[in-house]
């Protein structure tokens, strides 16, 4: 479970309230997982313990897009533009995912996710099998 600091600046409180219900993963600025919600770990077909320590960018098909987003954050921006990309959970078929990355505690990066469905709420799956 995530440890919440005693004090959060007002913008961090708003960000944490927005993402509290959705799946999230916290990484270092280079993409190594340091914490995750159970829902966030399930997106990658792992437990929180199994996901911790892994490089999250390796799950994504378009790794360069993810690397560019992390680079934007390392250069001092508080968040990067919303990304829509494909990822492959452990031992599962690839899926589409919307990814939002922003700085959370210190230099940790909070990733929040929403899946893109093939029913008109987003582009169709490229590999539906």
Tell me the domains of the chain and their CATH numbers. 22-115 (3.30.450.20)
Q: Under a CB-based contact definition with an 8 Å cutoff, are residues 29 and 101 in contact? A: no
Q: Answer with the residue of higher pLDDT: 11 or 71.
A: 71
Question: Which of the four pLDDT bands, split at 50, 70 and 90, describes residue 117?
Answer: confident
Average pLDDT of the segment spanning 97-103? 95
CA-to-CA distance for 86 and 76, rounded, in angstroms?
A: 26
Q: Which residue has the tokens 């409180």?
A: 13
The span from the CA of 56 to the CA of 2, in Å, is 17
Q: Which of 20-24, 59-63, 101-105 has the lowest mean pLDDT?
A: 20-24
Tell me: pLDDT of 14 over 60. no
Averaged pLDDT score across all residues of the chain:
82
pLDDT of residue 84: 93
Segments of 29-118 assigned E as strands: 33-36, 83-87, 95-103, 109-115
pTM: 0.73
Answer whether 85's CB lies under 8 Å from 68's CB.
no
Residue 125 scores a pLDDT above 90: no
């Amino acid at each position: 479970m995530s440890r919440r600091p005693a004090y959060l600046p007002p913008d961090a409180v708003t960000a944490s309230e927005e993402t509290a219900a959705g799946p999230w993963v916290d990484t270092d600025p280079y993409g190594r997982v340091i914490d995750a919600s159970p829902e966030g770990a399930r997106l990658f077909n792992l437990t929180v313990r199994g996901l911790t320590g892994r490089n999250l960018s390796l799950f994504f098909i378009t790794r360069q897009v993810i690397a560019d987003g992390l680079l934007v954050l390392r250069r001092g921006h508080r968040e990067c533009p919303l990304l829509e990309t494909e990822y492959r959970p452990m031992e599962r078929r690839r899926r589409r995912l919307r990814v939002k990355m922003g700085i959370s505690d210190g230099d940790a990066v909070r990733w929040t996710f929403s899946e893109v469905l093939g029913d008109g709420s987003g582009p169709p799956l490229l590999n539906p099998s």
